[in-house]
Each structure stands twice: as C-alpha cells, then as structure tokens.
Chains A and B, each alone.
Chain A
Amino acid sequence: MKTCLLAILLIFSTSVLSQDLLISQATLHVGDGSTVIENTDILITDGRIAKIAPRIPTNKMIRVINAEGRHVTPALFAGLTASGLTDVEAVSESVDSGYRDLFTGLMHPEIDVRKAYNPLTSVIPVTRVEGFGYTLLAASRSDRGVAGTGGLVRFDGGFNGFEGSDVIYIDLSGHAADSFGGSRAAQWQLIEQAFDESQIKDPDDMTLLSIAGAKALATTKSTGVFVFRVNRAADIQRLIRFAERQEIRAVVHGGREAWIVAKQLAQAEIPVVLNALDNLPADFDSLGARLDNAALLHEAGVTVMFSSGETHNARKVRQVAGNAVANGLPHSAGIQSMTSTPADIFGGESRLAAKGAIADLVVWSGDPLDVNSIAEAVVIGGIPDTMTSRQTKLRDRYLPESTELPRSYIKP
C-alpha cells in the first residue's frame, strides 16, 4: 500500500497538454539566505521559473501541483560526491572517482572524472527522489595528492549535465602528506613547485607535471576553483596564504578546525564545505572538531556548504545541514547553503527560486532540513519526476505481505 500524500493534478484536455507547470500555494524558500514567500504560486514555462506571485491565473490546460502550504525549495545540492562515478563502492571496476598506480611519478590534475560520468546509474534516481538536483563531482583517489578535475553536474538524467567551472582537488590532510612527500613540508614544496611549473613554457623544465597537467592547472588557476581537503587550523592558515600568493579561488573541504581561523577565511573570502556531524577528534588534524563549526563560521562571515562524504547515501547531507541548524546556524542560511551557494561558488547557473532561474524545485512534506520530512515532489527542468528509483521499486515489490506468485513477478 502506498499512500500518495501530494496529488499532482493533471488537467487533461483532448487537444493539448501544455508542458507548463504550476506549483500552487507554496511556502517558497528562495534560497537567498532570508526570503520565504508564503502562500505563493510558481509558474514554470520551458523549464524555467516564469512567474512567482500569490495567485497566478492560467488559461491553459496545465499540470498543477497544489503544495497546500508546504515548503518548496530549489532542488538541493548533494555535496561532493561520486554520483555517476560509482555503482558499488567495493566493486572496484564500477568505481571511477579517482586514479592510482599510474607509475608516472607525476601529479595529474588533468585527469577529469567527468569523462567517466554515467547518468544512468541507479545511484542518481535514488538521490534525486530525495530532493537533490545537483552535485559536485569529486575526484578523490590519487597517487600524488592531486586527485584530478571535476565539476558540477545536474541530476537531469542527461549525459552532459555539466555546469560551471573546472574544479581541481588537492588533498592536504595528514594522511595525504604521509603518503605524498612524507611530511606536510615536503607536500607543500611539491604543490608549490607544481604551480610554478604550470606557468613555464618549456616542457623540458617540468618534473612534476605533464604538458596536459600544466595546462589544466593554469586554466583552473585563471578560471576555475581549487578544492583543498584540509582540516587542521594551521594547515588552513597556510592555505590562505598560498591562495593569496597564487591568486587562486580556493575552497576548504573538511575544515573541522576552520572555526579557529574563521576571521582569516572570511577576509580571504574562502568558503568551507564541511560535514556538520564531524565533532570527534578523529585524528590529529581534527582535535578541534565541534558541532557548531558551521554556526561559528557563518557568524564570522564565511560562506558555508555541506557534504556528507557519502555518495550512495548522499541524501544524508540534508540531515547534516539540519544538525548545523540545530547547533546554531540560522535556518535560512542552512537552506541557502544547500541550494544556491554551491552553484554560485562553483560557477553553475543560479539556483535561486526566482524568475528566469531553472525550475529545479522540491515540495517537502515538512521542514526541508528535518529528518521527519521527505521530498514529496521533485521537479527538474519544469518536469515532475516520477519519484521512482530502484529502491522505491524494491520497496513496492516487498511491501505486500503475501503474494500469489514469487515476488520476481511483481514489477512496480
């Protein structure tokens, strides 16, 4: 038995069913960090938000989702994931989120995980039906600390849903230093040398980069973003100076001790992607981990985003944001960081719920950041999602208490 809590009304006409969509009576969270519009209608045409107003008269036969006062947000950001880069984590041939054993001795910033992206993996519908519209494809495994390039991708089911800037991933954790250079000092030396090499003309002078690597680093330096995995305050401080010197756009990923250097991060305009559930001294990089990290950073003026560190269970990042709010982050800032901020930081299309923006929207059963709510309707590009995934089908196969034929004959 499946109860449908939210009716998508299809108003049929014998002639034309317009591709337009009206979401009526919404409590709309714009995603700008403050605005919530009560009892509003949202008209969507050609995959974009055409109008936001209290009562929008429509003269066409169009589909209507009556939100009946429910919360509506832009589709959420799933964090840094390998969505589309993996089917099963322990099945190594299905995992393409990084590289290893290239035996070149070089760093490979040019290896671009987007080339491996598969939008048809079951992982993406599983994530999308939970209210997620996009993610930052992350390169996470490497020989030499530099894991490669990635970027934003939209969960629109297409092969080319990429958006925004090139993003290069560099790991500055103690673990990475241990296997790459053997110390943080050596690691910094190698990274600095690689950045220097990206600026020289003669390939014969390069020892750490290939020609393609130098080009990727140089391009990202001028137009892209570098995501540094780093938790320790002292290392973040070092990164701030490095980013300033290199004139790069840097983002901290991890940032468990970022609150200690919150002022400097705010001043340097370096955003932090964190997991608000990281409150344990998991290693000597994280002795200062605390639950109100996000709140403290926000208060100091640092741009905060969230990532759960998971791909299959990327949907957990909504709980991560909820816990940040439970520990002092303003609710509206939580919504902003889960919707529009990552698009802004990584160069994607605006994801504010505003006229002209892409119509990736979610209707929630309750507070979008609470664990007792679920996504009831997901709209991607103005088209209501079927709200099915491999998991909903397994659920519907096994939900009946008894069946006449074996369950393999039940194909929901």
Chain B
Amino acid sequence: MTSKTLTAVLLLASALAQADSPPFPSTYKPLPSEPTLIRNATILTGDGERLENADLYLENGKVAWVGSGDYADGSRIIDATGRWVTPGIIDVHSHLGVYPSPDVDAHSDGNEATAPVTAEVWSEHSVWPQDPGFGRALAGGITTLQILPGSANLFGGRSVTLKNVSAGTYQAMKFPNAPYGLKMACGENPKRVYGRRNSAPSTRMGNVAAYRSSWIKAQRYIEDWNDYERKVAEHEAKAGDSEGNAALAAALNKPPKRDLELETLAGVLKGDIIVHMHCYRADEMVTIMDMADEFGYQVGTFHHGVEAYKIADKLAENGVCGALWADWWGFKMEAYDGIQENIAIVDRPEGGCAIVHSDSDEGIQRLNQEATKAMTRGRAAGLSIPEERAIAWITSNAAKSLGVDAYTGTVAPGMMADVVIWNQNPFSVYAKADQVFIDGAQVYDRLDDALQPLSDFELGQLLEVTP
C-alpha cells in the first residue's frame, strides 16, 4: 500500500468515525448549584403521588431524596410552607426560537414549506436563542421543551429537545442524550399548502401515498447500509484481523452516499428517532397507526389530536401519547369536533398517555392553567382526576413522549433536579412559579429581578419609560 493510499484510507476511516458521533453536540452544562433543602411543601411528584408537608433535598444537580433524609451542613434551606412543588414543567410542542418574538418575516424559520418531504431539516438550525419567549416560559415553570418544525409538510424535519436555560447558542441548551424527534403532519395542512400549488399531495390519500413512498426509500437505504457493512465485515474476515486490514476493507467497499432525509427516516425505522405527528381527526390517526405497523415503527405522540377522545382506547392499546389542547377548536374543519374533555378522556384508559401541550408562545407560559382547565372539565364530566394525576400531563407523560423520562419529569431520587416551587396550588389562574430550578441551579425567582433572565433583544428597549 502506498503512503498516499494509506492516507486516503485513514481519512475515510476518520470521516466514518465522525459520522458515528452525533454532529452539533450538546454543550449544555448545569449552572452552579448549592445543596438545597425545600421544606414543608405540598409535593406533586409527577408520577401520581401527593405528599403533604413534605421535604425535598436537591444535591449535585439531582434530587437526593423526597420525604426525609440527611442534608449537608450549610445547605440552603427554603421554607415552602403553604406552597406547592412540582417537577419542572415540560412542553412537548413549542416553536420558540423558530417562530420567535418579534414575529417578523426575517424570523419566520419554523417551516421549510418548499417541499412536502423535508425530513432532512433540523429545527435546531433555526432556533434563535435570543427569543424573549424562553424567559417568559421559564417564569411559567417550563424547564424542558421540544422545538418542532411546523406542519406544512408531511415530514417536517427533526425536532430538538432543550433545557430552558438562557444561553447564546442552542447547543448550550440542548438536552444531553435526548433522542431526536421527527415532525410529521396529517390532514389539511400539507394537502392545502401543496395542493394549492397544484403539486402533490392535494388529498389525504395523496398524503398517505407520499408517507409510504418515503418509508419504502428509507427501508432500501437501511438495506444498502446493511449490505455495505456486511461486505466490509466479510473482507475483514478474509483479510485477517488487524487495524490496517479493517481500514482497507472499508476503503475497498464504497459506502452508500449519505442522505440526510433518509438518515432521519431510517432513524425512525431503527427506533432511534421518535415520531411526533400532527394529526387531528380520529380516523386519520388510526390510518397512521396502521401505516406504522406496515413499516414496523412506533408513533410516539399524536399532537393536537382534537378528536383523540374518539379513539382513546386505541391510542392506549398502541402505546401512543396524545399531546392536546385544553380548549382550542373550530379554526379549521379538522378541528371542528373539539371538546374540552378531550385530555381527560384520553387519560382515562389503562395505559392512556395524555399530555397538555401549548403550540403557543402564550400557552407555554401557563401550561398549568391549561392543565387546570382540562382537569376541571374531566371532573365535571364525572371522572376522578386529582391534582397528583393531572400534573403528569405536563410533567412525566411529557417526559415519556420526548424519551427523557429517565432524567426528568418526576421528583424522585436520582432524577435531574428540575423543580418548580409554586406560590399555591398550581391548578389555578392565581398560581405563579416562585422559584424554578434546573439541574439543581436556581434559574428563576419571581421576586428577585437578579434571577430573571432578559434576552439581548429586550435589553435597552423603551429606555425612557417606567411604570
């Protein structure tokens, strides 16, 4: 082997190795924290428990214990008498950063509405970290949020899950080890956007045909890579087991060309990327679950699901979450059958996974109020929904939907210390987040301006006025 060939081989090997480590990696580092004892609170743990007059200890960025235990001398002690503690609130459906404030054309980066299949785009590449909406959401107790592309496309692109910390880059907000999501969309939006341009899809059947064609391409893409890897392995086996031979085997077998669109779709079929699908109508959701069976993948969560209550049992059977609004309806035909009991009915069956989502820079600031409305409607319809159950809709169920439930969404030993202290029962219009902790660090205080982040955009505006 000439030295030139060897260099080429090594370069190729290193390029392949790079492809294996994810690009745009998270640089998130928890902010400095001190051991913190929160005393005498009503704690909703997020997984169905409610503890009265209970203590909670945060140490090294984690929940150390709930109930009773030892704490370090010199720990910060917060008296939470009369106050309530919940896990940090999680919004699975946000467009903060990609449709930021101010809402001007130059900021409209949420929808690559130029082709119906854009699985190759990643929402994180549109996130403007200076969106003032992040800070407002923090004041509402949001500690984790998923930023999704819009719904114009059948495959809208990858989502990204962020920790709601103030940072100059999205990488510094990126939730470590969170799986990627893929935004897909049913129904009216794709067929309207493309049908009006007299291009496919213009019908619901056109939508489904296009999803299936894409999955078939992704299946072939996986086969091509499997073939390639098998051939490399065969060469390696023949040539003998040494580093040089492995590199040579790789060099002799040209790998398939990488395809960003198909990489994302293949990621879904391999179970690495979670499907988040915008879908309103009950019958369409069932069609999509059948399609998922055809191609051997799992739908993670249906978003919006205004008719999810009509198929609550099927969603539960299939282990699919419903991320829903408390009361939105009527803005388009597929939202005509909205009812305020939707969330409570999706929550009812064994295995039901109901989530309250916002899809709104206003709603994300008070997801607790949205959950309150849904809980109140469920109760009025005769369903038994205590607060300790309803809180899961904006904490643990949301964490499950995003694939981060091993890290956050419940207040339990070993979990990230993402915690909100509320001034009262959070199920009220009068409830406010007093203090918010992310990985044990206090990142917000309602009564202390020094602990309220202000984005670059907001700094220095309206200098001449004070209330």
A residues at B contact (CB < 8 Å): 1-3, 5, 87-91, 123, 233, 259-260, 277-284, 286-288, 290, 292, 296, 311-313, 315-316, 319, 322-323, 325-326, 365, 369-374, 391, 394-395, 398-399, 401
Contact = CB atoms under 8 A, between A and B. Distances in A.
Given A281-B101, A313-B330, A371-B429, A319 B462 contact: no
B381 A288 contact: no
A376 B73 CA distance: 53
Contact of B327 (A281, A313, A395): A313
B341 A399 contact: yes
Nearest to A393: B339
Given A326-B429, A399-B381, 13 more contacts: A90-B333, A280-B101, A280-B362, A281-B458, A284-B102, A288-B461, A296-B467, A315-B327, A371-B369, A371-B372, A391-B338, A394-B337, A399-B382
Contacts of A323: 366, 369, 429
B429 A322 contact: yes
A336 B369 CA distance: 23
B128 interface: no
26 contacts: A2-B382, A3-B380, A90-B332, A91-B333, A123-B330, A277-B365, A278-B362, A280-B133, A280-B136, A284-B104, A287-B461, A287-B462, A288-B461, A290-B467, A313-B327, A313-B330, A319-B373, A323-B366, A326-B429, A326-B430, A371-B373, A372-B375, A372-B428, A394-B337, A395-B341, A401-B313
Interface in B399-440: 427-430, 432
B24 interface: no
Contact of A370 (B313, B330, B349, B428): B428
Contacts of B328: 312-313
Contacts of A279: 136, 365
A284 B461 CA distance: 10
B340 A399 contact: no
A372 B376 contact: yes
Nearest to A311: B330
Contacts of A89: 330-332
Given A281-B102, A372-B372, A395-B341, A288 B331 contact: no
B461 A281 contact: yes
B362 A277 contact: yes
A90 B188 contact: yes
Interface residues of B, number: 52
Interface in B309-339: 309-310, 313, 327-333, 335-339
Interface of B: 101-104, 132-133, 136, 188, 309-310, 313, 327-333, 335-341, 345, 348-349, 361-362, 365-366, 369, 372-373, 375-377, 380-382, 427-430, 432, 457-458, 461-462, 465, 467
A281 B132 contact: yes
Given A3-B380, A260-B465, A319-B429, A398 B345 contact: yes
Contacts of B458: 281
A278 B462 CA distance: 17
A281 to B, nearest CB: 5
A89 B328 CA distance: 12
B340 A391 contact: yes
A369 B309 CA distance: 27
B276 to A, nearest CB: 22
Given A88-B330, A88-B336, A399-B345, A281 B457 contact: yes
A372 B427 contact: yes
Contacts of B380: 3, 5, 365, 374
Contacts of B348: 401
A233 B457 CA distance: 19
A280 B361 contact: yes
Nearest to A90: B332
A88 B375 CA distance: 26
B60 to A, nearest CB: 35
5 interchain residue pairs of minimum CB distance: A312-B330, A322-B429, A90-B332, A1-B382, A280-B101
A55 B380 CA distance: 30
A2 B377 contact: no
Contact of A394 (B101, B333, B339): B339
Contacts of B349: 401
Nearest to A1: B382
Contacts of B104: 283-284
B381 A374 contact: no
Nearest to A312: B330
A313 B328 CA distance: 6
A398 B429 contact: no
Nearest to B466: A260
B467 A88 contact: no
A325 B467 CA distance: 17
A325 B373 CA distance: 17
Contacts of A373: 376
A90 B187 CA distance: 13
B428 A371 contact: yes
B135 to A, nearest CB: 10
Nearest to B336: A88
B381 A2 contact: yes
Nearest to A331: B430
Given A3-B380, A3-B382, A288 B330 contact: no
A279 B337 CA distance: 30
Contacts of B427: 372
A87 B331 CA distance: 9
A282 B337 CA distance: 30
Contact of A280 (B132, B369, B377, B432): B132
B462 A283 contact: no
A138 to B, nearest CB: 17
A281 B349 CA distance: 41
Contacts of A283: 102-104
A371 B375 CA distance: 10
Nearest to A290: B467
Contacts of A399: 341, 345, 381-382
Contacts of B461: 281, 287-288
A313 B336 CA distance: 12
Nearest to A292: B467
A399 B341 CA distance: 9
A82 B250 CA distance: 66
B35 to A, nearest CB: 33
Nearest to A260: B465
Contacts of B362: 277-278, 280
Contact of B432 (A3, A5, A326): A326
